[in-house]
């Protein structure tokens, strides 16, 4: 039976998720600038997808380095990706042209589209171009025998077709202009006129002045192009000085192999053929776009209407249990505290670190770093701790994609402050989000109380305002001893640690998860209830999916809340007891929560890990148990709220469709709003 199980292709499943992001731009209940933001997020997501996933498939094909079957698989996957992306791009531009722009117009905001400036803007556009744009333009003629020009990724180019005045259009030439985004904004606000606001793409402002760039030529047409390049970093050998190796690789990222050539779909076929030949682009790399590319820039679209046209996110909730306590340590020495970001402020985590940095009893702080904010308050606090004489050890994962440079810079800052830095482990990524604070031995030889912070998300105060994560503050000695063992592994002191309660990838995580899944099946076979709820960002590992299929066949009720990639196929005979829910809303669902009913004993874990092959086999990840009943019930309540969502939740079907869970229930549950209200009510009750 196992051989007959079906699995979605990872990348096609991800495209289904990104399409769900795009659908937020169609939600007319959202303010217009929130919908525009989702257009930007969709484009940004897709850019990274081509830089990493598509580039990987192209590498397999180009190098022919794997067996023939894998090359064929890559080719089939690329074809499926291209077909699906082209379909989504049509929806994207339809939403932008037919919904977003008309609604902006209704509010007296006009984004110039494919037209010359109106008479009352002609002088402004001309003067702005001459003073702010023209000095930074460097048009290049595309000659048939000329040296091929290198195109930068994430840049926007205009290709102009023109012919000399007096010649016939057939004697045309092609020229290229790189739009100088480093010098000018993508959107130019024009002077208001009669109560109306006008905005112009810098692309169109340049188009309106092409005759000034090419005197002596008649302009025939002009189209946009852009490319994406392989941005992943492959280290053949991670031994030795990994910092220097990464620095070299990061520099080479800008010249990676081409993974996508995107062009205006209105470009005539003969024009496209000439452009392809000029840049030596193969047809497999072509992806259709619209007149405007690089639309992740929509996040920067000026808003002359004010905040009422943007989504107002809930104000972070005050947590009385910590607010009325002078010491975070004192509070968590009595009882664990659960933090919910961004429903609570990240300041509570910073307060925990600040107390560790200043408390004279604290001897040592150990923490992992995967992605931190630029000019990070977390890093500044750790430096402060080192300056105060604390021993501080930070494991820095340099291989956090697109954060390599920031991680190297912050690591150097910390090193100069006297912090002990441990860098990446060869062949592994460390994705665990843990910190431990160790106190000095008391003078009375009593056992010291130590403190820990375990989280589903990064130590990043910026992303903590938009990523939905959970974190546990605890003084539980068993958990803390396990965290110390994790750091001993990272420091190279032990190779085969024993963990009493933490699940740690590459050691005991997979075995324990498998055991708990099978235990639910055993309960069902014994006539008892079997129930599993798993919340995560990605589900890809086929071995774990097969375990869920078997549990479903045994009669275990399984709910999956998976935001992104989900390779499990629902609505099959072997998955009839499995439902997949996807929630996309104002906050990025990022927490990982694993619930096993266990005949009413209810085992609950939170984790940094998704059930992706890489997380379970090629990373150091941690999952930590929730032991205190009150906190356990709070998390279970939140899972129930998410499963009740009938506003932003979708069921994923056997065709990877996002089927909105809009039902006839007159009570509308929008999970993120309901969770905020739930936590706020609990906080108010505890404050009384």
Q: How many CA atoms lie within 13 A of 447 on its CB side?
A: 6
Nearest in space to 586 (alpha carbons), one of 38, 44, 26: 38
Q: Which residues pair with 159 in a beta bridge?
A: 176, 223
Residue that the structure tokens 């989000």 belong to = 433
DSSP secondary structure code for residue 216 in this structure: T
CA distance 243 to 408: 7
Q: Which helix (H) or strand (E) holds 210?
A: helix 210-213
* 542-554 and 509-525 helices, crossing angle to 10°: 10
| Structural tokens at position 330 | 């004192």
For 503-564, give the DSSP string.
Answer: EETTTTHHHHHHHHHHHHHHHHHTTS--EEEEEES-B--HHHHHHHHHHHHHT-EEEEEESS
* 404-416 and 242-252 helices, crossing angle to 10°: 150
| Structural tokens at position 229 | 């390049």
Q: Which residues pair with 187 in a beta bridge?
A: 201
Q: How far is CA 171 from CA 34, 164, 270, 272, 303, in A?
A: 47, 8, 14, 17, 44
DSSP secondary structure code for residue 91 in this structure: H
Q: Do 392 and 419 touch, CB atoms closer than 8 A? A: yes
Q: How far is CA 603 from CA 25, 279, 499, 512, 594, in A?
A: 38, 58, 17, 12, 8
List, by residue number, the catalytic residues.
Answer: 431
CA distance 335 to 319: 14
* 10-23 and 32-49 helices, crossing angle to 10°: 160
Q: Do 389 and 417 touch, CB atoms closer than 8 A? A: no
Q: What angle do CA 433, 434, 440 make, to 5 degrees?
A: 165
DSSP secondary structure code for residue 67 in this structure: -
Cα Rg of the chain, angstroms: 28
CA distance 612 to 617: 9
For 415-435, give the DSSP string.
Answer: HHTT-EEE---TT-EE---EE
Nearest in space to 532 (alpha carbons), one of 541, 543, 542, 545: 545
CA distance 216 to 173: 12
| Structural tokens at position 655 | 């065709």
Nearest in space to 51 (alpha carbons), one of 288, 276, 282, 256: 256
Residues 6+ apart with CB under 8 A from 600: none
For residue 312, the tally of other CB atoms under 10 A from its CB is 10
């Amino acid at each position: 039976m196992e051989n007959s199980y079906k699995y979605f292709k990872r990348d096609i499943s991800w495209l289904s998720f990104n399409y769900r992001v795009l659908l937020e731009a169609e939600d007319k209940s959202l303010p217009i600038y929130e919908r525009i933001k989702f257009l930007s997020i969709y484009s940004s997501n897709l850019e990274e997808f081509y830089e990493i996933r598509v580039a990987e498939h192209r590498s397999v094909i180009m190098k022919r380095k794997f067996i023939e079957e894998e090359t064929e698989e890559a080719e089939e996957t690329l074809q499926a990706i291209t077909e699906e992306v082209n379909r989504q791009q049509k929806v994207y531009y339809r939403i932008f042209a037919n919904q977003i722009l008309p609604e902006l117009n209704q509010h007296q905001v006009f984004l110039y589209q494919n037209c010359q400036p109106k008479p009352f803007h002609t002088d402004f556009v001309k003067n702005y171009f001459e003073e702010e744009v023209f000095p930074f333009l460097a048009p290049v003629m595309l000659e048939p025998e000329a040296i091929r020009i290198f195109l930068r990724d994430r840049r926007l180019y205009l290709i102009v077709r023109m012919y000399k005045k007096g010649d016939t259009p057939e004697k045309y030439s092609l020229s290229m202009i790189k739009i100088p985004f480093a010098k000018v904004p993508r959107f130019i606000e024009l002077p208001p006129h009669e109560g109306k606001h006008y905005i112009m793409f810098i692309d169109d402002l340049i188009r309106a002045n092409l005759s000034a760039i090419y005197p002596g030529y008649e302009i025939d047409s002009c189209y946009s192009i852009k490319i994406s390049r392989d941005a992943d970093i492959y280290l053949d050998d991670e031994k030795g000085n990994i910092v220097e190796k990464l620095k070299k690789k990061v520099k080479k990222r800008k010249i990676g192999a081409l993974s996508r050539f995107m062009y205006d779909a209105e470009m005539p076929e003969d024009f496209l053929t000439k452009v392809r030949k000029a840049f030596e682009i193969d047809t497999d790399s072509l992806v259709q776009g619209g007149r405007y590319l690089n639309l992740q820039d929509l996040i920067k679209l000026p808003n002359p209407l004010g905040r009422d046209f943007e989504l107002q996110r809930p104000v972070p909730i005050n947590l009385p249990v910590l607010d009325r306590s002078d010491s975070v340590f004192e509070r968590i020495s009595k009882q664990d505290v659960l933090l919910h970001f961004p429903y609570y402020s990240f300041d509570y985590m910073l307060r925990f670190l600040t107390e560790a940095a200043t408390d004279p009893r604290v001897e040592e702080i150990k923490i992992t770093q995967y992605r931190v904010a630029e000019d990070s308050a977390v890093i500044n606090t750790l430096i402060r701790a080192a300056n105060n004489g604390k021993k501080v050890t930070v494991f820095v994962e340099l291989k956090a994609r697109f954060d390599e440079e920031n991680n190297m810079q912050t690591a150097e800052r910390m090193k100069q402050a006297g912090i002990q830095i441990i860098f990446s482990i060869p062949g592994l990524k460390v994705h665990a989000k843990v910190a431990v604070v160790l106190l000095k031995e008391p003078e009375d030889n009593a056992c010291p109380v130590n403190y820990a912070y375990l989280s589903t998300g990064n130590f990043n105060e910026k992303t903590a305002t938009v990523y939905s994560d959970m974190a546990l503050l605890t003084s539980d000695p068993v958990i803390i001893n396990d965290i110390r063992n994790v750091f001993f592994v990272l420091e190279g002191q032990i190779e085969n640690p024993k963990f009493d309660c933490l699940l740690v990838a590459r050691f005991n995580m997979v075995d324990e998860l498998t055991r708990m899944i099978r235990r639910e099946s055993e309960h069902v076979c014994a006539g008892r209830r079997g129930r599993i709820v798993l919340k995560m960002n990605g589900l890809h590992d086929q071995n774990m999916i097969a375990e869920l299929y078997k549990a479903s066949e045994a009669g275990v009720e399984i709910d999956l809340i998976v935001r992104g990639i989900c390779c499990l196929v629902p609505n099959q005979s072997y998955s009839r007891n499995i439902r997949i829910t996807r929630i996309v809303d104002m906050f990025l669902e990022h927490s990982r929560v694993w619930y096993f009913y266990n005949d009413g004993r209810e085992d609950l874990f939170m984790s940094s890990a998704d059930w992706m092959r890489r997380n379970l086999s090629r990373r150091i990840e941690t999952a930590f148990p929730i032991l205190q009943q009150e906190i356990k019930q709070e998390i279970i309540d939140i899972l129930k709220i998410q499963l009740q969502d009938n506003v932003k939740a979708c069921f994923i079907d056997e065709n990877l469709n996002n089927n909105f869970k809009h039902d006839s229930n007159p009570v509308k549950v929008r999970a993120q709003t309901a969770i905020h209200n739930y936590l706020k009510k609990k906080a108010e009750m505890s404050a009384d």
